[in-house]
Amino acid sequence: MIKKFTIGLFFISFIMGCESINKEKMIIIEINNGWRVSALGKNEWLKAKVPGCIHTDLLSNKKIEDPFFRTNEKKLQWIDKVTWEYKTSFSISNDVLTRQNVRLNFKGLDTYADVYLNNKLVLKADNMFREWKVDCKKYLIVGKNTIIIIFHSPTQIGLEKLVKLGFQPPAANDLSEIGGMGKNKVSIFSRKAPYQFGWDWGPRLVTSGIWRPIYLEAWDSAKIENVFFQVKSVNKSLSVISASIEILSSSDQKLELTLTDVNNEKKLIKQEFSLKKGENISSFNFNIDNPKLWWTNGLGEPYLYKFTSALFQNNKVIDRQTTNFGIRTVKLIQKPDSAGKSFYVELNGVPVFMKGANYIPNDIFPTRVTARKYWRIISSAAKANINMLRVWGGGIYENDIFYDLCDQKGILAWQEFMFACSMYPVDSNSIQNIRQEFIDNVKRLRNHPCIALWCGNNEIDAGWAEGNEHGGWGWKQRCNAAQHQILWDSYKKIFYKTLPEVLGNLDSARFYWPSSPIAGFSDYGKSSLTSGDFHYWGVWHGKEPFEKFAERIGRFVSEYGFQSFPEFKTVKSYTIPEDYSIESEVMASHQRSGTGNMLIKKYMGNYYKSPKDFESFLYVSQVQQAEAIKSAIEAHRSRMPYCMGSLYWQLNDCWPVASWSSIDYFGRWKALHYFAKKAFNKFLISPRIEKDKIVIYAVSDSLDPFNAQLKLKLTDLKGKVLNSIQSTVAIKSNSSTKIYETETKSLLQDADPCNIFLFAELKINDRTLSDNIFYFVHPKDLVLPKPMIKTKVEKAGNCFHLILESNELAKNVYLSTIKGEGFFSDNYFDLIPGKKVIITFSPIRPIDNLNKILVIKTLTDTF
Ligand code: BMA
């Protein structure tokens, strides 16, 4: 079936039927059906899905096994060495061909694609991230047309480019060996999702295919090609917005353009424009009275305006486009101060602490990420009080839906260009290709209020460290002088010339940051705790203790992390029982960090009692990760306003794997996601030891100051209260306040630190703003009791309420179900003696009796 949309009516019909075409309006036909694929010359045609990719096509035709199961990935490396041919046919009526302009619009071809229309080569594409538009009227006929796309092997083309260059540039994460390519790392030679060549959390599965839709567009006199809105000024009563509407005109002519605020049907502008044949930009300003601002998650409503731009000829609409738009100002403030230079986001004039995570693509095959999956991951981020996601440079420029959801949920995007942890050599052709990639993506994304800033790349500056002879990750030390020059010149051409030029032309008001992390704009090779953004990997890669999170705090910590395993249900999806050991071949192949298992175990040895079995190990790994990152978030937020951003590595996974993620491939929250939700809460109470004192910080994102009650209870693990303190404290607006400090000795008296905890609450009357539990020793040194947890289950509509109460401390209560799937409103939490908690369980499919399938474990059950 070929879908046909007539603009304005959203009317879908079969093109070969007897539909009547509104002559004035654009015709858009999506060419996504009837596709077949074969290895070139093999003539073994399989059904293909478009958008899609070769791996998922082979999978749905049962030609390969599930790439994620056990070690199947390794058997599938032949796929990227083959040339694949996709073909389909589509029919068009005479009405389409009577239009003055007919064009094919390829939203994304992955990657080296020769496109033949009725056997004529009409396009040679070589960049997954670009859009390709081909005027094709002269190649089309009324009735059946064929389209064939030959996808050349990206790895073979990469090899040819590598041979031509004559040396191997650094490509730190390219898992060439798994790919059967020896030491030849070719990812850097193709403008193609870097992570598909392997990463320290991802498989190597290098795809080919039509990864975004193809449209046939037909129109007569003119078409809206692109729109761009920008806030020029804003105050309480008025916002002035500039509009630049790019129009393709078939002749010199005058056309009327209107702009409507869809939410109230108000016409914002109605104006005639003189257009020249070809490309035109019509620019004008318009006003929005009493503007409703777009705010981030937690600070206010992320209000979205909907502007429809419509082009009229003889009073009939010929094309229109609707754009969601948020009225907000976002600035990145770098002001010198006594410590160095600030680095913070100012939203609508308010400095906002960025609470968030690093985001990677949701699947190694990005075409199978459904709208539901996008919704689930962004909603999960929003539920965890996240207000910024860093769209990391080793993945893809995400699909529109990702940014739409961030717009709706009030989540800002730190948007990178797709370059990561490698040096990318360019020549005059490839830099033009990259320039066009920048243009396409900036034009596609710049209207989104969620995009806070553009960033050139991930960790290339840090890895190379120009000007610092012994600095970096050993990359430049492996190059001779000529190679050094080629790579560094290329780097500067991409990130200090081409990209700033494109942004200067297309989106000059947005902040541009060349690389993450970097101390200052041209501070090549410098990363600093006192300016710029900072990646801290001392904990984990550097084997430092968790306590270091509180010492190594930058102005904006855009990466830090700790690994864990996914839960047992997820592990079961890729293993069979004989694999149930961390060191088994299958488990090891789903752990891509060379030192991953060793580090998890090493830290566990320091902090936890040795887990008794495989399942316990998975669970303890999650609790350990959650505690580590919780301590980092709390430390970062407590250092407000010195530190104004905390983005942990990483939010999500692209396959089921041991990784730094807080949500696994199936969308299941790990312990970390629950902990992050609390640590990122609008109000945070955070106790810690500083030297010989116990100190308590209260962090508030509220823009108003207030008074609250601080309640502290020092309790033993059996529930006996040893000391309690209560006071009224003044909480400053939008900052961190030290609300309590005392000598640890005087608080503890002669209590045994292995047998106590401090329960801290920040309250207004009976409402708890934040609570937290602080231990004076590591979990392995706690004398954990064997708690009796009383459980009452009550049905509440489709959900269940679980009322839990424990006689003694129940550490890291883990709720799960033996079958079925659902979401617990809280999990992995410490249940303090005598305190009732109510947890809601929302099953995905209705269940009758939760009691029958509920399993409750605590840390005590793991050793
Ligand atoms: C960061 C990232 C990734 C990597 C992660 C974990 O520095 O930028 O390249 O996956 O560390 O090692």
Structure tokens at 246: 């790019």
Which atom of ligand 1 lies closest to the CA of 172?
9
How many of the other CB atoms lie within 10 Å of CB of 134? Answer: 15
CB 129 within 8 A of CB 136: no
Which atom of ligand 1 lies closest to the CA of 173?
9
Task: Name the pairing type of β-strands 693-700 and 683-690.
Answer: antiparallel
Angle (CA) 344-350-354 rounded to 5° is 40
- Residue 517: asked if its preceding bond is cis (omega within 30°), the reply is yes
How many of the other CB atoms lie within 10 Å of CB of 421? Answer: 24
- 189 CA to centre of ligand 1 in angstroms: 21
Strands (E), 656-717: 683-690, 693-700, 706-716
Question: What region, left, alpha or beta, does residue 143 occupy, with left being phi > 0 and alpha being psi -120 to 50 degrees?
Answer: left
The angle that helices 499-506 and 428-445 make with each other, rounded to 10 degrees, is 30
Q: Which domains does the chain have, with CATH numbers?
A: 2-216 (2.60.120.260), 224-325 (2.60.40.10), 351-561+638-679 (3.20.20.80), 683-781 (2.60.40.10), 789-862 (2.60.40.10)
**In percent, how much of the chain has pLDDT > 70?**
97
Q: Evaluate: CB of 649 within 6 angstroms of ligand 1.
A: yes
Rounded Cα distance, 559 and 357, in Å: 8
| pLDDT score of 61 more than 90 | yes
Largest pairwise CA distance in the chain: 92
Q: Evaluate: CB of 647 within 6 angstroms of ligand 1.
A: no
Q: Evaluate: CB of 201 within 6 angstroms of ligand 1.
A: yes
How many of the other CB atoms lie within 10 Å of CB of 264? Answer: 8
- 218 CA to centre of ligand 1 in angstroms: 45
| pLDDT score of 6 more than 80 | no
How many of the other CB atoms lie within 10 Å of CB of 287? Answer: 14
Rounded Cα distance, 89 and 36, in Å: 10
- 659 CA to centre of ligand 1 in angstroms: 10
**In percent, how much of the chain has pLDDT > 90?**
97
Rounded Cα distance, 73 and 489, in Å: 36
Residue 641's alpha-carbon distances to 534, 638, 734, in angstroms, are 15, 8, 9
CB 627 within 8 A of CB 546: yes
- Residue 111: asked if its preceding bond is cis (omega within 30°), the reply is yes
What's the confidence (pLDDT) of residue 80? 98
Q: Evaluate: CB of 535 within 6 angstroms of ligand 1.
A: yes
| pLDDT score of 7 more than 50 | no
SS3 (DSSP) at 315: coil
Sign of the C-alpha dihedral computed for residues 635, 636, 638 and 642 taken in this order: positive
The angle that helices 614-638 and 671-679 make with each other, rounded to 10 degrees, is 20
Q: Evaluate: CB of 312 within 6 angstroms of ligand 1.
A: no
What's the confidence (pLDDT) of residue 15? 32
Which atom of ligand 1 lies closest to the CA of 660?
6
Mean pLDDT of 675-703: 98
- 394 CA to centre of ligand 1 in angstroms: 9
Structure tokens at 521: 């704009």
CB 725 within 8 A of CB 711: yes
Residue of 296, 409, 385 whose CA lies nearest to 681: 385
Average pLDDT over the chain, rounded to whole?
96
What's the confidence (pLDDT) of residue 616? 98
Rounded Cα distance, 454 and 444, in Å: 13
Residue 818's alpha-carbon distances to 309, 568, 577, 852, in angstroms, are 53, 11, 16, 9
Q: Among 204, 421, 457, 473, which is best to mutate for testing ligand 1, by the most ligand atoms less than 8 A from CB?
A: 421
| Residues 6 or more apart in contact with residue 490 via CB below 8 angstroms | 423, 424, 425, 426
In this structure, the residue with its CA closest to atom 3 of ligand 1 is: 200
DSSP 265-334: TEEEEEEEEEE-SEEEEEEEEEEEESPPBB--TTTS-B--EEEEEEEEETTEEEEEEEEEE-B--EEEE-
Angle (CA) 681-683-685 rounded to 5° is 105
- 565 CA to centre of ligand 1 in angstroms: 17
Rounded Cα distance, 665 and 438, in Å: 29
What's the confidence (pLDDT) of residue 23? 56
What's the confidence (pLDDT) of residue 24? 64
CB 125 within 8 A of CB 113: yes
SS3 (DSSP) at 428: helix
In this structure, the residue with its CA closest to atom 4 of ligand 1 is: 200
Which atom of ligand 1 lies closest to the CA of 458?
8
- 358 CA to centre of ligand 1 in angstroms: 10
Q: Evaluate: CB of 199 within 6 angstroms of ligand 1.
A: yes
Rounded Cα distance, 643 and 304, in Å: 30
Which atom of ligand 1 lies closest to the CA of 459?
8
What's the confidence (pLDDT) of residue 809? 98
Q: Evaluate: CB of 195 within 6 angstroms of ligand 1.
A: no
Task: Name the pairing type of β-strands 84-92 and 143-151.
Answer: antiparallel
DSSP 370-413: -HHHHHHHHHHHHHTT--EEEE-TTS-PPPHHHHHHHHHHT-EE
What's the confidence (pLDDT) of residue 640? 98
What's the burial of 578, exposed, middle or buried (CB within 10 Å: 0-12/13-18/19+)?
A: exposed
pLDDT digits over 745-780, tens only?
999 999 999 999 999 999 999 999 999 999 999 999
| Residues 6 or more apart in contact with residue 545 via CB below 8 angstroms | 539, 606
| pLDDT score of 8 more than 50 | no
What's the confidence (pLDDT) of residue 690? 96
Residues linked to residue 390 through DSSP beta bridges, in sequence order: 358, 414
| pLDDT score of 424 more than 60 | yes
Which atom of ligand 1 lies closest to the CA of 199?
10
Residue of 201, 863, 173, 291 whose CA lies nearest to 561: 201
Q: Evaluate: CB of 579 within 6 angstroms of ligand 1.
A: no
pTM: 0.96
- 180 CA to centre of ligand 1 in angstroms: 23
Q: Evaluate: CB of 200 within 6 angstroms of ligand 1.
A: yes
- 658 CA to centre of ligand 1 in angstroms: 14
Q: Evaluate: CB of 559 within 6 angstroms of ligand 1.
A: yes
Predicted confidence band of residue 25 (pLDDT cuts 50, 70, 90): confident
What's the confidence (pLDDT) of residue 656? 98
- 590 CA to centre of ligand 1 in angstroms: 16
CB 771 within 8 A of CB 761: yes
Q: Evaluate: CB of 628 within 6 angstroms of ligand 1.
A: no
- 703 CA to centre of ligand 1 in angstroms: 34
Mean pLDDT of 211-226: 97
Q: Evaluate: CB of 459 within 6 angstroms of ligand 1.
A: yes
- 525 CA to centre of ligand 1 in angstroms: 17
What's the confidence (pLDDT) of residue 10? 33
How many of the other CB atoms lie within 10 Å of CB of 339? Answer: 11
Rg (CA), the chain: 29
Q: Among 559, 647, 661, which is best to mutate for testing ligand 1, by the most ligand atoms less than 8 A from CB?
A: 559
- 689 CA to centre of ligand 1 in angstroms: 30
Structure tokens at 729: 């404290």
